[in-house]
Amino acid sequence: MIETAAMICLGIGILFNTLGVIGILRFPDVYTRLHAETKMTTFGTIFLALGVILYAGGMLAGTGDNQYLTIAIHTAIALIALAFTNATGSHAIARAAHRSGQLPDPSVVDRLAEVKSND
């Protein structure tokens, strides 16, 4: 039962990771690629880690081995670190891309460039 739930989580994770990589290859400019990268791979990796936590919890209840408790707690810590650092890192990349003079290529409105040209 719990193994089936872990399997479904792994499947969802791989699906979203695949869509994220397709998005990186398909989208037209760097900002839309960042959308695909940040959201989809973070969400996919959260589901992969959830699958691992479920599996480790099931094995812990089954065998009582302390090793699985360690795996579950450390995976949760890795998950928190990953979610925070991914969002902040993508913010840094977007800011650097706009500072280096790369404007959003198909765009309907760009308030930041208007503010910068007024200075």
Which residues inside 4-63 make contact with other proteins, applying CB under 8 A?
6-7, 10, 13-14, 16-45, 48-49, 52, 55-56
Quick one: residue 30, left, alpha or beta (phi over 0 = left, psi -120 to 50 = alpha)?
Answer: alpha
Of residues 61 and 112, the one with the C-beta less far from other proteins: 112
Query: How many other C-beta atoms lie within 10 A of the C-beta of residue 1?
Result: 6
Chain residues 56-95 in contact with other proteins, contact rule CB under 8 A: 56, 66-67, 69-71, 73-75, 77-78, 81-95
Closest CA to 81 of 73, 91, 93: 73
Residue type, 110: D
Instruction: Report how far residue 19's alpha carbon sits from residue 76's, in angstroms, rounded to the nearest whole number.
Output: 24
The distance of closest approach from Cβ of residue 61 to other proteins in the complex, given in angstroms and rounded to an integer, is: 15
Q: Of residues 99, 117, 118, 119, which one binds other proteins by CB under 8 A?
A: 99
The distance of closest approach from Cβ of residue 55 to other proteins in the complex, given in angstroms and rounded to an integer, is: 6
